[in-house]
Amino acid sequence: MDNYFLAITLVIFASFFQGTFGLGMKYMAPLKWEAWWLVHAFVAMILVPMVWAFIAIPDLIGVISHTDSATLWLAAFYGFLWGIGGILFGVSVEKTGISITYGIVMGLAASMGSIIPLFQIEGAFEQPSFPIILVGVALLLVGVAITAVAGVQRDKLKAGASSNSKAIRMGVMIAVASGVLSAFLNIGFANAAPVAQSAVEQYGVGTQNASLASWVVVLLGAFAMNGGYAIFRLARNNSWNSFTVADSKKAYRWAILAGIFWFAALGVYGQGAALMGNLGPVIGWPILLGLALIISNIWGYRAGEWKDSGKSFKVLLGGLCVLIVAICILGYANY
């Protein structure tokens, strides 16, 4: 019982970081996107995970080297696929806007990132909580869809003009691909469970800290995509001098801070999910993303993004209420 409440508390805490790290993306200038992103990705996917994991698991290299190589490559590959989804997210935003893209990506990432690990569990259909999880995930999708509709209504009210329908259709298709691929971050974490298990059984590491070893493996693949793409953009645009542009200290600080917050979300979530047992990635992931969506909208409201938005703000509140109900149902599923 104590572990259960600690697990839920950790996931809730993680959602604060997940819903907050995106604030740093508003402060990229004067750095080019590729320069800012390379710094951010290195901090988020390599530096912080490695440092934290080595502190919690002194023999991290031994843990990883004693894990079956097929497991390691598969987990890293899933991280790489998530990286592709992240790049497609940016492309979709350019074509359809943040509200439509965020709604589609969050909905698909939360649902598929939960359902696929559930089906990978032996005897998933016999789990007593199986129907409760499905109801919770379905409600989560409804809540995300409502918040996306609210965002679209707000954007139309402020823009006062219709966008190119062909570009929007293409953007929606890209957003769907991004949402599907974004789910692989959690799928990779779930499939990297043997790494954490090795840390617990062979090296005496605590269950919570052992989850950090899983993230190190998954995020190596994620950085290969994100860092690789940023370097490609730097080379293609010949924008290497962006790193030394004047008045960039603030942008660097936000790149580092956003990176710390980004992995803090995953690291703390992983600890909470580990305490939940086999259903941790199934239940914890949609709770994390659902709460993060609520928190990000709170930050948006405080920043004035919903000022003079009319009825769309009431629609948003309705969507957030549905998300809260869905999160409560998912939390009960593992009670």
Whether the model clears a pTM of 0.75, i.e. scores above it, the answer is: yes
Q: What's the alpha-carbon Rg for the chain, to the nearest Å?
A: 20
Number of domains within the chain: 1
The answer, yes or no, to whether the previous bond of 30 is cis (omega within 30 of 0) is yes
Contacts for 221 with CB less than 8 Å, ≥ 6 apart: 75, 76, 77, 78, 79, 80, 81, 82, 83, 188
The structure tokens listed for 118 are 């559930």
Domain holding 50, by residue range, is 2-333
* 229: its two tokens: 């793409």
Per-residue pLDDT for the chain (335 aa), expressed as one digit of tens each? Answer: 567 788 889 999 999 888 887 777 778 889 998 999 999 999 999 999 999 999 999 899 999 998 999 999 999 999 999 999 888 887 776 676 666 677 778 888 888 888 888 888 877 777 788 888 889 888 888 888 888 888 777 777 766 655 556 666 787 788 889 888 989 999 999 999 999 999 998 888 888 899 999 999 999 999 999 999 999 999 999 989 989 899 899 999 999 999 999 999 999 999 999 888 888 888 888 888 888 888 887 877 777 777 777 788 888 888 888 888 888 888 777 65
Burial of 78 (0-12, 13-18, 19+ CB in 10 A): buried
